[in-house]
Amino acid sequence: MRRVVAQVATATAEKVEVKPGAGFDFNTYMVDRAKLVNKALDDAVPQKYPDTLYESMRYSLLAGGKRVRPALCLAACELVGGDIQAALPAACAMEMVHTMSLIHDDLPSMDNDDFRRGRPTNHKVYGEDIAILSGDALLSYSFEHIARATKGVSADRVLRVIMELGKAVGAEGLVAGQVVDIQSEDKEVGLDVLRYIHINKTAALLEASVVCGAILGGADEATIEKLRKYSVNIGLAFQVIDDILDVTQTTEQLGKTAAKDLAVNKTTYPKLLGLEKSKQVAEQLIDEAIAQLDGFDKANAAPLVALAKYIGYRQN
């Protein structure tokens, strides 16, 4: 586990400019946060009976990954003056939901992917039935875990977090994005539909991560809305860059099947706008996201600035 995280952080070091002397080391920061989150996830979903179910949940949940969503959640909480312990259960919940969406999206009846994060997908190891059920358990547990494990925050704010997460996951978020995505395969769709897919399938959960972190940190409404704008922008950029990486990187570099979009004749930003224009769109989205952080203390905002740049310039 530690090795995977360290590799991610190393790859990151080459891409994110962190000004020397700025007093903020993004690599160390991400490694530390990933350690914290991995430990919390390991504790939240321990191995128990029924063995296969928990093995399957843990196989995907503890498979490394960049822990971008938890990092965003914790950073937002801290930026608004909260204690990160208050946001840790929600940060874990974001990763549970993300993992569930990967397990279900990889199924034969959906994207039919055999590899994820450089390993066989969940259903390849445990079978389709267990993969579906593991996803269900992770989804259900994400809400339960927030309700059960969040400490030091008013119950009203915890309920609001559950609403935000629900909206991000369900038929007005992630699931809606996946449905329109599936229905758009082998079809010409315009930028509006593509944007709808990206906003729902990817940005919604990044938005929930940031906004929930801010809510749990005690942020006021104006701050929450600023951070919402930040997160929607980096969420959309994240997916535009995913489209770009699918074309430019190999399966080995990605840790998942490359050129998948081309293979299924999927509409992407590069296909609609070309590669250069797509890169410009991503850059502009990242710039606008960072601009939302202008009003905050520079040192306090450094993690969210770096996370935005990391998403903007990542290579996998």
Indicate whether 252 belongs to the interface with a second copy (CB under 8 A): no
Q: Are 235 and 177 in contact (CB under 8 A)?
A: no
The mark string for 183-222 relative to a second copy (x by CB under 8 A, - otherwise) is: x---------------------------------------
Q: Using the rule CB under 8 A, which residue among 72, 76, 165, 234 binds a second copy?
A: 165
Indicate whether 62 belongs to the interface with a second copy (CB under 8 A): no
Q: Of the two residues 8 and 131, which places its CB atom closer to a second copy in the complex? A: 131
Q: Are 261 and 268 in contact (CB under 8 A)?
A: yes
Query: What is the smallest separation between the CB atom of 3 and a second copy, expressed in angstroms?
Result: 28
- What would the DSSP string read from start to end of 165-222? HHHHHSTTTHHHHHHHHHHTTTS---HHHHHHHHIIIIIHHHHHHHHHHHHHTT--HH
Query: What is the smallest separation between the CB atom of 134 and a second copy, expressed in angstroms?
Result: 8
Query: What is the smallest separation between the CB atom of 63 and a second copy, expressed in angstroms?
Result: 17
Give the SS3 label for residue 115: strand
Q: Of the two residues 193 and 275, which places its CB atom closer to a second copy in the complex? A: 193
Q: Using the rule CB under 8 A, which residue among 1, 13, 171, 262 binds a second copy?
A: 171
Q: Are 99 and 127 in contact (CB under 8 A)?
A: no
User: Cα(1)–Cα(111) distance, rounded to whole angstroms?
Assistant: 26
- What would the DSSP string read from start to end of 259-303? THHHHTT---HHHHH-HHHHHHHHHHHHHHHHHTTTTS-HHHHHH
Q: Which stretch binds a second copy (CB under 8 A): 14-22, 78-86, 152-160, 292-300?
A: 152-160
Indicate whether 264 belongs to the interface with a second copy (CB under 8 A): no
Give the SS3 label for residue 83: coil
User: Cα(141)–Cα(154) distance, rounded to whole angstroms?
Assistant: 20
Q: Using the rule CB under 8 A, which residue among 163, 191, 263, 264 binds a second copy?
A: 163
User: Cα(264)–Cα(113) distance, rounded to whole angstroms?
Assistant: 12
Indicate whether 61 belongs to the interface with a second copy (CB under 8 A): no
Q: Which stretch binds a second copy (CB under 8 A): 9-17, 150-158, 255-263, 285-293?
A: 150-158
Q: Using the rule CB under 8 A, which residue among 4, 68, 79, 162 binds a second copy?
A: 162
Q: Is the peptide bond before 120 cis (omega within 30 degrees of 0)?
A: no
Q: Are 73 and 212 in contact (CB under 8 A)?
A: yes
Query: What is the smallest separation between the CB atom of 111 and a second copy, expressed in angstroms?
Result: 9
Indicate whether 128 belongs to the interface with a second copy (CB under 8 A): yes
Burial of residue 89 (number of CB atoms within 10 Å: 0-12, 13-18, 19+)? buried
Helices 298-313 and 26-44: angle between axes, nearest 10 degrees: 80
Q: Of the two residues 118 and 218, which places its CB atom closer to a second copy in the complex? A: 218
Q: Of the two residues 17 and 172, which places its CB atom closer to a second copy in the complex? A: 172
Residues that bind a second copy (CB under 8 A): 45, 49-50, 52-54, 57, 100, 104, 107, 109-110, 127-130, 132-133, 135-137, 139-141, 143-145, 147-148, 154-156, 158-160, 162-163, 165-167, 169-171, 175-176, 178-180, 182-183
